[in-house]
Every structure is written in structure tokens, then in C-alpha cells.
Amino acid sequence: MDEEDHTATVLRATGREDLGDALAWIQERRRLTGEVRTDELMAAVANLKRNMRVEAALREITRSALVSKVDPSTDLLAVEAAVRPRAYREALEEVARYTSSGSLADLSVEAVYFAQERNPLVLATLGLVAGLAWRDLRDRVAGLASSPGTPASPEGPWDLEQISAALVVIDRVLKDTEVPQLEGATPARPIELMFSEDQKTGWDAVASLMHDGVSYETLLAQRAVGGAWLSHRQATTGQIPALIADELCCALDNAGLSYRRGTVVGGDVSKAALRTLLQGEPGQVGVVVVSGTGKALLAIAISVARDGGTARKSGGRLRTLPSQFGVPAAVVLIGHGWAARGESMELIKSFDGRVFTEQSVEDLVTAAIALTQEEER
């Protein structure tokens, strides 16, 4: 399509007779005719010769069309995978069972070793006692002089030398012997230890907390500094594209379209197979609409951004995606981070207007139908 075709599309979408009036109409958020899909209008405006009016109109279309109602911070995924509180107590009780006094105050390497053999959650739990997620504990052990390393996962198997190294890291936190890396900083410790009113430290403090419990206000303070479900959400955000792909594939099925769904979004087609299908690196592409003969017609990526910073980083990678293979590409943007970002305007240009949210999946399917019909002609 040339400039004249794009202009005609904008005029038809707005019902205006002059391009300047049409662009102002869009910028002022006036009602559109409904004769042109939003993705077609975005493509038309994005391909007009750039000037201030075109930029303003494109910015307004982007802001209104790319509003996603999905906020990754409000919903939880895979809640069944979260470890229940009772499991942590059982892990600590298992350790105490192997100490000389039956208390964590007398914790030893041997006690942890035998407890870990019985309960694979023990080392992960002891790391959390010091406020260290598994990755943090693993990395700190690796940073020790003559480090024996750790197993690939907290479940093990662990040997005595590895457990000893892990306890060195944990003890430093519990006994407050860590040295801050920055002048004026404070080494990170669990809030129940930092703000404790008694003078106990180390495993004595842990044994006391396990016996007497932690106050509710301490739990609230922990939420204030660490957030509720923060680590769990970070670990499961990657599952959101698969849920969106479920909705998309259902709509494609209803439209009678064939597609290939990659393993990255819960399908059974490997990345290598997608690479062969697209004859290029698939990147974030998760679903590919295909013809009756299996020819790739539309590559669809799904990207999640809760905030503008994430959108900026993801947008930079997405912008080059359509040029990596000779197939039209589309992207579904999820999250509040996209609507107000300048990167989103550039995506509209890169994807020739085929930029959608979970609110406009049906428009995406309509675009896929159009490409399929073109292929059949």
C-alpha cells in the first residue's frame, strides 16, 4: 500500500474528507465509523509521512488501543505450587530431631545432613530462615573461598562439605557478622531478627522464634518491605503467555484456522520446529497460523509488561522480530506497561499495525482470516 491508500484508510475510519481533519479527529478521541479495524487504522497512520499531527494521532491510537486490563500483580498463578507453612515447620522439626538437645539452638552439620535425607525441603527452609531464596543461597555458597558448590536444586543430593558451606553463609546472616559492601549500608537480614526486641542471635534466636512464634505486626512489616507473594509472582509470570495462548488458540479453533503452538506457550511444537517453519529465529513467537498445506502465514508473539520499564526492554527486542523471517507477524501485549510507552508506537510500525491486547484477540483472528483468504486466492 502507498501513501494514498493509507490516507484513504484513515479517511474511511474517521468519516472525514481531509487528512488533517481526520488526524485531528483521532487525536480528539472522536467516534470512529467502525468500517476499519483498529489494527488496520494503526498501520495506516504509522505508514503516513511523519509529522507532528501524524505523531499525535498515532500516540492517541496507541494509548487507547493498547490498554490491557491484565495486571500481573493482582492474580496468582500456580498457587498449588506454593509451599504451605506447615511444611516449613515440619522441615525445621526434622532438623531439631537430630540435634543433641532437640532444639535448633544446637544445630549441627550432621543434624542437617540426616534431616535433609529425610526431608528434601530442609536446606531450602534453612536458607529462608536467613532470608535467602535458593538462588541467593546458591550464589553466596559459590562465592566462598574454596567453595564446594551446591547441588543443582535445593532437594539435593547434598554432602557434608556442601551443607557445611551453606551453613557458613546462613550463620553469617543469623549472627549478623556480614560486612556491608557499601559504606553506610546495612547487611540484609530477616526483619524479625533485625527489629527483634531481645538480644538473641544465631540459632538461639531461631529456636526462640520457632517456639514462641512471630507477631502479626512482624508479618505486616515483612509484607511492607518485601511485598505479598512477590517471589511467587516473579516465578510464575512466565505462565501468563500460556493462558493468553489458550484464549487465542480457542478463537483460532472457532474460526476454523490451523496453527502451530510452541512449547513456550504450553503447546507441543519445539522452538527448533518453529524455526524451521518460519525459516528464521522465532524469538518470542509462540503461535503460528498456517495454511492448509502447512505454510506459515502469521507469526504471533505474546509479551507481558507490568510496568513501563519492562515494556521498554521487551519492546526493544520485539521491534526487530518481524524482520527475522519472511512471514507477517503480530504481537499480543499484556499488562499496564504498554499503552503509554513510545516503544509501543514503534512496534505498530514494525508489525504493520498488527499489535493487539487480550481485549482485541478477535481482531487478531480476523486479521489471520484475511491472510488465510489471501493465500487461498
SS3 content of the chain, % helix, strand, coil (to 5): 55, 10, 35
Helix (H) or strand (E) holding 299: strand 296-304
Cα distance between residue 253 and residue 86, in whole Å: 44
- The DSSP string of 77-118 is S-GGGSPPHHHHHHHHHHHHHTSSSSSGGG--HHHHHHHHHH
Q: Over the stretch 313-359, which tens digit does the pLDDT of each residue have?
A: 888 888 889 988 889 999 999 988 787 666 678 888 889 899 999 98
Query: In terms of pTM, does the model score above 0.85?
Result: no
Pairing between strand 258-261 and 329-334?
Answer: unpaired
Q: Over the stretch 232-278, which tens digit does the pLDDT of each residue have?
A: 777 777 788 899 999 999 999 999 999 999 999 999 999 999 999 99
Would you list the domain boundaries of the chain? 3-65, 79-227, 237-376
Q: Over the stretch 19-51, which tens digit does the pLDDT of each residue have?
A: 999 999 999 999 999 899 888 999 899 889 888
Domain 237-376 has CATH 1.10.3470: no
Could you tell me the pLDDT band of residue 85, with boundaries at 50, 70 and 90?
A: very high
Can you give the pLDDT at residue 207?
93
Cα distance between residue 231 and residue 253, in whole Å: 35
- The DSSP string of 18-39 is SHHHHHHHHHTTPPP-SSS-HH
Residue 302's region, left for phi above 0, alpha for psi from -120 to 50, else beta, is beta
**Single-letter residue type at 203:** W
Q: Over the stretch 165-200, which tens digit does the pLDDT of each residue have?
A: 999 999 999 999 888 888 888 888 888 988 887 778
Can you give the pLDDT at residue 231?
81
**Single-letter residue type at 245:** A
Q: What is the mean pLDDT of residues 208-229?
A: 87
Cα distance between residue 286 and residue 273, in whole Å: 11
